[in-house]
A = this chain, B = another copy of it.
């Protein structure tokens, strides 16, 4: 064992996943005397809140992907391995990965979530938007649909090619619907002069009674009216009952014919194989105590979207699955590991809600900060600044800023290249 990283006499801390939780945890351990191993199946961190901009041509993937090795270039106690974890052996304290086995003293599961289709058999038909390749795939499909609509003779097929169904009215669904509406208004007419863009339809379907269920009622109302002003059709209290690749059906009896269905209706945890089943919720999340320890294992922690903590009376059904929770949990676990190494008592996690925001379009956004609600241009400016603050790397921030200023002035979106998968010649292991 341990051939993939030679052991030392220092305690070994393994972090599975380089998302918001994993990297903030690792950063907070910068001065600890330990061997920290960060594992991720990608060699980059994905800034998930902006994936929808990659999908709608506003940004290129490199602006929201940050190489993990570069992120930790100056942190000597971190070792990165580009690997996928295949199994956890909690009693023996080791993990199996795609490149070999590794023992640990502390293990942190920060594997996040994946798209949840709620047992509808549509995984091969609806588009998901949780990863960079998925977002690129959404973008390519949107553009390919218009390319084809140009010469499609069948009126029904043509209409389906120009119809976009977005399922789920959370931030991702709202932001995607808004971005598509702006593409329709400002960008696509110049690119596709042969098409009548009034035929393009954007339909947002939300199962709950309001959009942005995690935000204030005011935010929900603003988002709804902003989207409707942009020409988006919104169906509330509606859930999808099926999609056969051609027709979307709902509980309300709607039948929407659409070539593109973007699924942002829910997520389920990405648990690591090998954890006792009893610790997993049906949502795939892992039950943790107030210190983020996985029940029954003092040396295993879970943080971020995958962690389900119901000990906080303010959040009896767990915390919202957002970046801020992951970041704060990561930092708290970093402290707790340090306390644990010293034999000191651990510190319970307390979530400090910095507020939440979503953007609908140009000069249109909503923000809830403590008890206050903001909307319009000011909220939109706040959203831009906050997103940029959290992007890693000066170069990324600069490139994103240029792209945004560019789009703002020209009403254009630069990233309209269709890059579909390439059958590679060589499979490197």
Residues of A within 8 A of B (CB): 3-5, 42-44, 60-62, 65, 67, 69-70, 73, 76, 79, 81-82, 99-100, 123-128, 131-134, 136-137, 140-141, 143-145, 147-148, 150-151, 153, 190-194, 245, 259, 393, 395-396, 398-399, 402-403, 406, 414-426, 428-429
Contacts and interface: CB of A to CB of B under 8 A. Distances in A.
A133 B419 contact: yes
Given A62-B60, A428-B259, A418 B82 contact: yes
B424 A420 contact: yes
Given A81-B151, A140-B428, 17 more contacts: A60-B60, A61-B419, A62-B414, A62-B415, A65-B417, A70-B191, A81-B147, A82-B144, A82-B147, A124-B426, A125-B425, A127-B426, A131-B422, A132-B419, A133-B422, A421-B421, A421-B423
Chain A residues touching B, majority SS = loop
A99 B62 contact: no
A357 to B, nearest CB: 27
Q: Which 7 pairs across A and B sit closest by C-beta, in order of nearness?
A: A133-B422, A4-B151, A421-B421, A60-B62, A82-B147, A67-B416, A144-B428
B3 A151 contact: yes
**Copies of this chain, whole number:** 2
A223 B191 CA distance: 43
Contact of A44 (B67, B124, B406, B418): B418
A95 B13 CA distance: 63
A42 B192 CA distance: 16
Contacts of A143: 43
Contacts of A193: 76
B424 A395 contact: no
